[in-house]
Amino acid sequence: MPLRSDKTTWFGVVLGATDPKALAEFYAELLGWRIFADAGDEHFFSVAPDETSGYNLACQYEEHHVPPVWPGAAGEPQMQLHLDFQVDDLDEAVAHAVACGAHVCEFQPQERVRVMTDPAGHPFCLYL
């Protein structure tokens, strides 16, 4: 039987970071979403378009977070997932992401995709 909830349909991804608030602020600015936080919990922040979207991106405190390397290399922290964001104008989206605090990766395997990292080092792709 597939996973489900009688309350709502919800999907989320959680990224670890040593500064989850700063990472949530980055994604809120990048995506034009809002930050939602539990009162008094400085270790977990959610970013979503609104309170009823059914999906979010969360950032949680990880004391020993080590950014993965891109591209992967033997003996180095490996990427276990990355986020993909479809955009209309790749150059404009890259400029916006950089202005928000992202970094463009040196290795770019595809012409219509830009591999980037967020301030905590998590890879993400902007693609046409």
**CATH number of the domain where residue 107 is located:** 3.10.180.10
Domain around 119: 83-127
- Statement: residue 82 has pLDDT above 80: yes
- Statement: residue 3 has pLDDT above 60: no
pLDDT digits (tens, 9 = 90+) for 32-46: 999 988 767 889 999
Domain count, the chain: 2
Residue 103 in any domain: the answer is: yes
The pTM score is 0.88
Q: Please tell me whether residues 55 and 15 are part of one structural domain.
A: yes
Q: What CA–CA distances, in Å, run from 33 to 47, 88, 126?
A: 6, 18, 17
Residue 5 in any domain: the answer is: no
Whether the CB-CB separation of 60 and 44 falls below 8 Å is answered with: yes
**CATH number of the domain where residue 44 is located:** 3.30.720.120
- Statement: residue 5 has pLDDT above 70: no
Angle at 56 between CA 38 and CA 5, to 5 degrees: 90
Residue 72 in any domain: the answer is: no
